[in-house]
Structures are given as C-alpha cells and as structure tokens.
C-alpha cells in the first residue's frame, strides 16, 4: 500500500450563514486518482480550494506527505502540484507559450528560449500543434483553452494534479478527448490526482476511487468497482440518468 | 418607524467603517508586499504606458477647453470693474492650483480606475487570481503595486502637461477673442505664478493618482462573482475614486495653503 500524499482531517467551511460542508475526511494514496463527485453547488470547488490552500477551512487540517501544511512546508506543497481551474483561468494578456511556462517567468532560472521549449513540449503532450504557441487565450476554443490549462498545470511535472470539472462546458466528443488526455497525463507523470466532476464519463475514465459530496457530508466513498455496484440511493441517482 | 430609520443609519455607518477598514488593510498590504524584491519592473513600465501615455489626449483636451472657458469667464467678470488685465494670472493660478489636478484626476479616474476594476474583477471571477497564487505569484504585489506606482508617477506628469495646455487654451482665447497681446499675456502669466503653485499641483496629482489606482484595484479585488459583480465593481471604482479626489482636494488645499 502506498503512503497517503494528501489527507484532509475534519474540514468544515461556512460563508456567513451558508454552511458548505462539515467534518470532511479524505485521503489519497500516492499514484491514485480520486474523484470528488456531487451535484452543482454542493461545495466541490470550495473543498478543492481548501485542499490546495487557496481558502482557509474554518476547522480541520490538511496533511501533505504526512505533515501539516504550515511554514516552509506550504511552499514545498505549492511547488509540488498543478491545478486546472474550471474555466481554464488562462492569463488573457500573455500568449499561450508564456501561459504554459508562467511558473518560470519570474523564477530567474530559465531563458526565454528554455521557456518556449518547455511550452512547446507540454503543448505537444496535450495534443496541440506548436503553431498555437504565439496565439492569445481569447483566440482559442473552449477545448483548446482547457488543453492549454492542462499544459500549464503540468509544466513543472508535478507530483500532484488537481482538476476542477475538466469537461464542464465542453461538447461530448471534446469531453471524451479531455478525459482520455487526463488519464494519459496522470499515467505518464505517475502523478497523484484529485478530480472534481459531475460527469459520469470522466469518473469512469479517470478515477480509481470516488467520494460523493452531498448535503455537507461525504455521503459515500469507495473504489470505482464498488461504485458501479453500490445500492446507495444517491449514487444510483447519479449513475441512472446518464446511463440511459 | 423611527426605530427602523435608526437601524438603517446604524447599518450604513457600520458599513462605511467596515469599508474604510478594508481599504486601509488593502493599502498596508500593497506597501508591505510591494516594497520587497522581486520588483516587476516590466509591469510598472506597461502600466506607465497605459495609465500615463494613453491618458494624454483626454487630459490635454479637457485642459485646453477649460483654460479657454476660464479666460472668457474671467474677462467677462473682470470687465464689470475694469479689471480685464487679471485674465492671464487668474487663468494660470486657477488651472495650476485647482482645475488642472482636479479635472485631470477626475478624467483619469473615469478611464483608468474603471479599467483596473474591470480587468482585475474579471481576473478574480475567472479564477486567474487563484491561478497566480498557485504559481507562487502574489496578486497584490504583481498586479496592484505596479498599477499604484505607475499611477502615482503618471498623474503629476499628466497634470503638468495639462496645466501647460490649459494656460495655452487661455492664451489662445485671450489673443483671438479678447484682444490680448500674446507676449504680454505670457509675461503676465509667468509673473504671478509661484513655485508653491506648481508644487501644490504636483502633490495633489500624486495623491489623486494613488487614489485612482487603489480604488480601481480594491473594487476589482473584492468584486462579487459573475459578470454583474464586475459591472458593479467598475461603477463603484469610478464613483469612490471621484468622491475621494474631490474630498481630499479640499483638505489638501487647506493644508497646502493655510489661510
Ligand atoms: N467565495 C465565496 N463566497 C461566498 N459563498 C461562496 C463562495 N464560493 C462558493 N460559495 C458558496 O458555496 C457553495 C458551494 O459552491 P461551490 O463549491 O462552487 O459548488 P460546486 O460543488 O458546484 O463546485 C455555494 O452555495 C456557493 O454559493
Ligand atoms: Mg464548482
């Protein structure tokens, strides 16, 4: 059994009088791919932001490699993960190649040539031709933006990858390609992954393990095999409409 | 009824103090993160171009027409007690001390603080600010500090150019419509202007530039989610920076020209 890379213990979060979730515990082992599923507005994005340190949970703590996130450990954590946001979140004012290699833009360690090389390699890995390097994000389609977002997240070949609804807003065919791409990337880099989704196809393509976030709690958790067979009413509801 | 009135007033005052607190905290964060390396010089240059250079036409045109109108008004007013000769000096003093910085500040507030709020607000709602943080870049340091510095540098320059153009506007109207001799007009202008007039103009402009950038960025940073949130942030940026410019102008005038 591989050791856990990320653990959440007793997380809760509320906004004024809107309790988003309460006492969330989860753990992802090295090299595993976890999917967090749940209906829209159930707090999946907020949970992800707490996990990566973009939001402070009200209670509970996050462990990275078994140690709580504090002091120098936080920077180490920030250098170990890549994240793809729901809308790709590319920087509009700079071209694709600078977006992808942004992490090295101000690090003082890479020349422009080196940064362009990284960008073109990663662009290739996500299946886009290097003719896109000098385009601006606004000139790309939604699916291409997602790919560039993925390329930016893997620029440092991180140990951990986070995806927030990677297929939302995409047509079914593009969604499929993105799902396969994510699976390929995870295997290629040997990364640990946490993916937020409410897309059944994504889950079946990407996930080893699944947790269902429902009504402020983790309502169900298990492996992909048990997921298909469970009698849990909320999981059945989740699977039913899409499989028809 | 009465109770509800007091409740509303109370809530309003509470909100006001809350916002003042939030802006002050934002300001301190800009100072503390900004004045430590690394410095994003390229970003500062980019903003100098966008705030300063591209505002020149707006500020210039405003100043020219204001200087011209001022000359007409003062000539008409002065002629009531045979004092038409004060036109050059009063146009100059009025432009440099008050109208140059205030109108320049307001025009730039409309353009620049709105643009900053819209840009940063959009970055917030599309999670670009979050993306920056995960790439180890502090958004306040990277986005806000360069804008504040560029704006605080640009405004005094813009206002100085505006002052000059405003005086030229007065000169143009004075010589073409009011029968002044151009050489005499300029001589009169220079005779009455003091160094204090210029420094007060520059001090005011620097203040206004800082206000414009801070209010633009603050409103963008705290914009609510969605396109509507960004729209509101843009309006709030223009309104708040304009009011702060007018209010601080009064106190700066009182401070700079103790009666
Ligand atoms: N920054 C925020 N401020 C206030 N409320 C928020 C914020 N972010 C999310 N919420 C609220 O938290 C709840 C969960 O949102 P979210 O995590 O985005 O849902 P989803 O599961 O669709 O990703 C929603 O009710 C949302 O309105
Ligand atoms: Mg979400």
Task: Transcribe A19-38 into DSSP letters.
Answer: EEEEEEEEEEETT-EEEEE-
Q: Are residues A24 and A47 in contact, defined by beta-carbon separation less than 8 angstroms?
A: yes
Confirm whether the ipTM is greater than 0.90: yes
- Which helix (H) or strand (E) segment is A237 a member of? helix A233-243
Q: Within 13 Å of residue B9, how many CA atoms lie on the same side as its CB?
A: 6
The answer to whether the CB of A7 is under 6 A from ligand 1 is no
Alpha carbon of B219 to those of A125, B124, B145, B216: distances in Å? 39, 11, 15, 6
* Cβ distance of B134 and A79 shorter than 8 Å: no
List CB contacts (< 8 A) between A86 and chain B.
127
Q: Does A54 touch chain B (CB under 8 A)?
A: yes
Nearest to B180 by CA among B68, B85, B70: B85
- Angle subtended at Cα A92 by Cα A87 and Cα A93, rounded to the nearest 5 degrees: 165
List CB contacts (< 8 A) between A160 and chain B.
none
CA distance B196 to chain A (A): 42
Which residue owns the Cα nearest ligand 1 atom 14? A43
Encode chain A (244 residues) as per-residue pLDDT tens digits.
788 999 999 999 999 889 999 999 999 999 999 999 998 899 999 999 999 999 999 999 999 999 998 888 888 999 999 999 999 999 999 999 999 999 999 988 999 999 999 999 999 999 999 999 999 999 999 999 999 999 999 999 999 999 999 998 888 988 999 999 999 999 989 999 999 998 889 999 999 999 999 999 999 999 999 998 888 888 888 887 654 4
List CB contacts (< 8 A) between A54 and chain B.
130, 133-134
The C-alpha atoms of residue B63 and residue B73 are separated, in whole angstroms, by 15
Look at strands A67-68 and A18-29 and give their pairing.
unpaired
Q: Helix count (H) and strand count (E) of chain A?
A: 9, 10
Question: Which of A41, A89, A165, A196 has the highest number of chain B CBs within 10 A, making it the mutation to test binding with B?
Answer: A89
- Full-model pTM: 0.91
- Angle subtended at Cα B124 by Cα B118 and Cα B127, rounded to the nearest 5 degrees: 140
* Cβ distance of A106 and B40 shorter than 8 Å: yes
The C-alpha atoms of residue B248 and residue B238 are separated, in whole angstroms, by 15
Alpha carbon of A242 to those of A207, B55, B248: distances in Å? 17, 55, 61
* Cβ distance of A85 and B137 shorter than 8 Å: no
The C-alpha atoms of residue A116 and residue A133 are separated, in whole angstroms, by 8
* E-assigned strand segments in chain A: 4-15, 18-29, 33-37, 59-64, 67-68, 81-84, 160-164, 192-197, 209-214, 217-223
Q: Does A77 touch chain B (CB under 8 A)?
A: no
Burial class (CB in 10 A: 0-12, 13-18, 19+), B198: middle
């Amino acid at each position: 059994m591989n050791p856990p890379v990320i653990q959440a213990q007793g997380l809760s979060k509320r906004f004024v009088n809107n309790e988003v979730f309460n006492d969330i515990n989860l753990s992802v082992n090295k090299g595993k791919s976890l999917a967090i599923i749940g209906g829209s507005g159930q707090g999946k994005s907020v949970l992800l932001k707490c996990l990566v340190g973009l939001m402070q949970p009200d209670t509970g703590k996050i462990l990275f490699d078994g140690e709580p996130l504090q002091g120098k450990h936080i920077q180490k954590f920030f250098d170990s993960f890549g994240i793809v946001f729901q809308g790709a979140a590319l920087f509009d004012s700079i071209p694709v190649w600078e977006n992808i290699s942004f992490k090295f833009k101000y690090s003082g360690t890479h020349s422009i040539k080196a940064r362009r090389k990284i960008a073109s390699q990663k662009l290739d890995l996500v299946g886009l031709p290097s003719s896109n390097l000098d385009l601006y994000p606004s000139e790309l389609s939604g699916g291409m933006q997602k790919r560039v977002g993925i390329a930016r997240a893997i620029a440092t070949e991180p140990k951990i990858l986070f995806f927030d609804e990677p297929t939302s807003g995409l047509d079914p065919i593009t969604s499929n390609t993105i799902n396969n791409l994510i699976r390929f990337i995870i295997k290629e880099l040997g990364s640990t992954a946490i993916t937020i989704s409410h897309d059944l196809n994504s889950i079946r393509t990407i996930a080893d393990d699944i947790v269902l976030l429902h009504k402020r709690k983790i309502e169900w958790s298990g492996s992909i095999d048990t997921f298909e067979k469970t009698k849990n009413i909320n999981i059945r509801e989740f699977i039913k409409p899409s499989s028809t | 009824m009465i109770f509800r009135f007091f409740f509303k007033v109370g809530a309003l005052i509470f909100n006001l103090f809350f916002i003042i607190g939030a802006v002050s905290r934002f300001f301190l964060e800009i100072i503390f993160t900004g004045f430590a390396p690394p410095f994003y010089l390229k970003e500062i240059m980019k903003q100098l171009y966008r705030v300063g250079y591209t505002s020149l036409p707006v500020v210039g045109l405003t100043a020219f027409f204001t200087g011209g109108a001022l000359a007409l008004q003062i000539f008409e007013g002065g002629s009531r007690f045979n004092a038409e000769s004060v036109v050059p000096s009063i146009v100059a003093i009025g432009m440099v001390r008050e109208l140059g910085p205030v109108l320049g500040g307001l025009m730039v507030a409309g353009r620049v603080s709105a643009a900053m709020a819209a840009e940063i607000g959009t970055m917030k709602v599309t999670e670009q600010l979050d993306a920056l943080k995960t790439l180890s870049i502090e958004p306040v340091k990277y986005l806000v500090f360069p804008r504040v510095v560029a704006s605080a540098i640009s405004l005094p320059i813009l206002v100085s150019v505006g002052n000059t153009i405003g005086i030229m506007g007065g000169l143009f109207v004075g010589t073409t419509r009011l029968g002044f001799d151009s050489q005499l007009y300029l001589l009169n202008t220079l005779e009455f202007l003091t160094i204090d007039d210029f420094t007060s103009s520059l001090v005011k402009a620097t203040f206004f530039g800082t206000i414009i950038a801070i209010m633009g960025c603050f409103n963008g940073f705290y914009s609510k989610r969605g396109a509507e949130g960004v729209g509101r942030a843009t309006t709030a940026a223009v309104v708040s920076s304009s009011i702060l410019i007018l209010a601080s102008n009064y106190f700066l005038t009182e401070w700079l020209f103790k009666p």
